[in-house]
Amino acid sequence: MNLTATVEQTTPRPVGPPPPTLILGRFNPGDHIVAVYRYTVPASPPERICFNIKITGGEFRNVCLKRKRGTEGWFMSVESYGQWVESALAPAPVPSAEKPDLRIIGNLAIDRILTVQNIGRTSTPSGIDIKVVRECFVEGRWVPSPEWLSMGLGKRTLLAGESTELRIGTLIGQCPLGTTKVRIIVDPRNEIAEMDENNNVVEASTLADLRIVEFRSYYPIVGIRGTPGYRLYFDISNTGVGNAGPFFWEVSVFGDGVWRSIIGERVEKLDSGKHIVIEKNVGNSIREGERIRLRIDVLNEVPETNERDNVKETIVPRRP
């Protein structure tokens, strides 16, 4: 039995947007499957690790595991930014009694070595080599790399129950400029008859994913932070696989039916897994009770896995 994780988009709660972090599952040391990706939680796990998961509709989201210390040692908690993550027990795959069944396991967002398994009860045909290819999604179509990928130890066939390593190197490999997704396919021409032909592919986005973690305004006590007036505080993270930058952010205030820009700046770079906290003094440019809005990547310069989480609004609080 393995733990599986499914990812669904959340809808905003009636009282406001979802909290930035939803911890809804726990993974103890051992083998687990996250969607179609396997991750073995070590006895001394990393502080944080992310998986790129394909959800309904073909979009990609990152699911991150964060290290926690429990009463019996380390474990990994599911940490999700704006998505629900549900854990459930799933039975192990049932091997075929008549055919081989090739399966590819790994997470392209983080792994440089994948695993190819034959979970069937018969060997792959000796006269047909197992082929593996990397394909790159660019300009609306999948483009195969010029060379086949080689399985470990020069293997060309797999016995029943046998597995082998597949070294893929970097995620992009020899993909052309402008690639937005990468996939690795075992037996791409379907030359080997299998019980299940739907477990031969792993896929990942190569894009960044900018998100607004927090956005608020406040009025500091006069004399503590210098010039009196309202200040802005916001936290921008990049939870995608790719690095982001440059991009602009902009804060606007709503009045007389229109949004009026009051401040904005350019961010040169925000690497994958990093975040940036920005505080700005806007003085009397905003007033108590007004709606203010933060937009990031205003000019859509950064290709992202999700372009719909780049805006956040809030209400200016009362002065102390």
Domain residue limits, the chain: 2-90, 102-205, 210-315
> What's the rounded Cα separation, in Å, for the pair 240 and 256?
37
Nearest to 222 by CA among 75, 320, 152, 155: 320
Mean pLDDT of all residues in 71-92: 52
Identical fold between 102-205 and 210-315: yes
195 token code pair? 């019980």
Is the pLDDT at 11 greater than 50? The verdict is no
- For 210-315, the fitting CATH number among 3.40.50.300, 2.60.40.10, 3.40.50.1000, 3.40.50.920 is 2.60.40.10
Q: How many CB atoms neighbour CB 157 within 10 A?
A: 17
CB-based contacts of 134: which residues, under 8 Å, 6+ apart?
Answer: 144, 145, 149, 168, 173, 174, 175, 182, 183, 184
User: How much of the chain exceeds pLDDT 90, in percent?
Assistant: 26
pLDDT at 20: 37
Residue with tokens 């597949």: 166
CB-based contacts of 58: which residues, under 8 Å, 6+ apart?
Answer: none
- pTM score, whole prediction: 0.58
pLDDT at 84: 43
What are 308-318's pLDDT values in tens digits? 889 999 999 99
pLDDT at 243: 86
Q: Which residue has the higher pLDDT, 230 or 68?
A: 230
Q: How many CB atoms neighbour CB 110 within 10 A?
A: 16
Q: Which residue has the higher pLDDT, 101 or 6?
A: 101
Per-residue pLDDT band for 87 (boundaries 50, 70, 90) equals: very low
List residues bridging with 185 in a β-sheet: 133, 201
CB-based contacts of 112: which residues, under 8 Å, 6+ apart?
Answer: 167, 168, 169, 170
Is the pLDDT at 121 greater than 60? The verdict is yes
List residues bridging with 275 in a β-sheet: 237
Average pLDDT over the chain reads 77
Is the pLDDT at 139 greater than 70? The verdict is yes
pLDDT at 280: 95
pLDDT at 17: 39
The secondary structure of the chain as a DSSP string is -EEEEEEEE---BTTBSPPS-B---EE-SEEEEETTEEEEE-SS--SEEEEEEE-TTS-EEEEEEEEEEETTEEEEEEEBSSEEEEEEEEPPPPPPSSS--EEEE--TTT-SEEEEEE-SSSPPPTTSPPPEEEEEEETTEEEE-SSPPPBGGG-----TT-EEEEE--SSSTTPPTT--EEEEEESTT--S--S-SSSSEEEEE--B-EEEEEEEEE-PPTTTSSS-SEEEEEEEEE-SSS-B-SEEEEEEEEETTEEEEEEEEEE--B-TT-EEEEEEEEETSS-TT-EEEEEESTT--S-BS-SSSSEEEEEPPPP-
pLDDT at 262: 96
pLDDT at 50: 65
Which architecture, in CATH terms, is 102-205? Answer: Sandwich (2.60)
What are 161-218's pLDDT values in tens digits? 898 888 888 777 778 888 888 889 999 888 998 888 888 888 888 888 899 999 999 9
Nearest to 97 by CA among 170, 166, 160: 160
Q: How many CB atoms neighbour CB 66 within 10 A?
A: 16
What are 253-306's pLDDT values in tens digits? 999 999 999 999 999 999 888 899 999 999 999 999 999 999 999 999 998 888
* Backbone conformation region of residue 106, classed left if phi is above 0, alpha if psi is from -120 to 50, else beta: left
State how far the alpha carbon of 226 is from the alpha carbons of 150, 265, 287, 317, in Å: 63, 21, 19, 19
